Amino acid sequence: MARMIPIAAAIVVMTAGMAWASGGGSAPVSGGSGMASSPRLTPQQMAEMQYNDGLKQQEKADRLRAEAGTATDPKKRSRLETDARKAYGKARGNFENAVKKDATMYPAQGALGYVLRRLGDFEGSLAAYAKALEIKPGYTPAIEYRGEAYLGLGRLDDAKAAYMELFNADRKRADELSSAMTKWVDARRQDPAGVDPKSIEEFSTWLSQRLEIARQTTALLPSKDARW
């Protein structure tokens, strides 16, 4: 899960404004007009605000999507899915605004890729992940989510490569991708959605082998509680 970015400068501005409003100081004036003038936020600070707002909408959308997945009433499920899409759409707008203000904000690029994938725009999602990785090579959240986008597009070899990269760099993210792969196999067995059933079973065999290797290598790792 992406993390909120603190906006210290914005808090300072708010605090100063509160102090003036309570009589604790004089408000700055502009051009002798007597009108109060607030310090302007930098583009980077505005980008951080948009990013943080986007994360709130993304978390709301994820929660609604999860509720929809367990809803038994069709009308309720449809309503929750609609609300989730609206929240993802708002998050998309926030993240797009963030990267417009600060094109180097790779977490926002990665988060944009995530919500685009949830909205079904896999190609746009891949473009956002590519941008995040261009700015921050080896950024594992983008690698993991990009692997899930590859699954959505049926690009199984690319999804495998993403897993292998994560396995060596970030085992937790590798486990997240393998979990998504397992769900993909189960779903495609029920509905191939145009994927060759033979390819599904070959991918399942590869995944089973990788999961066994992951289990064996995890057992060889020293325990976090080990005393040396």
Supply the mean pLDDT for the chain: 86
Q: Which parts of the chain are beta strand (E)?
A: none
Q: Give residue-wise pLDDT tens across range 174-221.
A: 999 999 999 999 999 999 999 999 999 999 999 999 999 999 987 665
Residues 196, 143 within the same domain? yes
Residues 47, 115 within the same domain? yes
Judge whether 161 and 176 are in contact, CB under 8 Å: no
223: Cα within 13 Å, side-chain hemisphere: 4
Does residue 33 lie within any of the structural domains? no
pLDDT of 7 reads 56
Inform me whether the pLDDT recorded for 224 exceeds 70. Answer: no
Q: What would you report as the CA-atom Rg of the chain, rounded to the nearest whole angstrom?
A: 23
Inform me whether the pLDDT recorded for 26 exceeds 50. Answer: no
Does residue 88 lie within any of the structural domains? yes
Does residue 212 lie within any of the structural domains? yes
Q: Examine the fold and report which residue of 120, 136, 152 is the final residue of a domain before the chain moves on.
A: 136
Sequence-distant (≥ 6) Cβ neighbours of residue 34 within 8 angstroms:
none
Q: Examine the fold and report which residue of 106, 121, 136 is the final residue of a domain before the chain moves on.
A: 136
pLDDT of 218 reads 78
Number of domains the chain is built from:
2
pLDDT of 187 reads 95
Judge whether 117 and 137 are in contact, CB under 8 Å: no
Residue 111's nearest CA partner among 86, 153, 150, 142 is 142
**pLDDT > 90 in the chain, percent:** 77
Task: Calculate helix-pair angle for 106-118, 43-70, nearest 10 degrees.
Answer: 30
Residues 106, 46 within the same domain? yes
| Containing structural domain, residue 75 | 42-136
Does residue 122 lie within any of the structural domains? yes
What's the distance, CA 90 to chain centroid? Answer: 14
Does residue 20 lie within any of the structural domains? no
Read off the pLDDT of each residue in 8-37 and give the average, rounded to a whole number: 46
Residues 189, 216 within the same domain? yes
The residue ranking higher by pLDDT, 20 or 4, is 4
7: Cα within 13 Å, side-chain hemisphere: 19
Q: Name the pTM for this structure.
A: 0.76
pLDDT of 36 reads 56
Does residue 26 lie within any of the structural domains? no
Does residue 103 lie within any of the structural domains? yes
Q: Examine the fold and report which residue of 103, 136, 169 is the final residue of a domain before the chain moves on.
A: 136
Residues 47, 130 within the same domain? yes
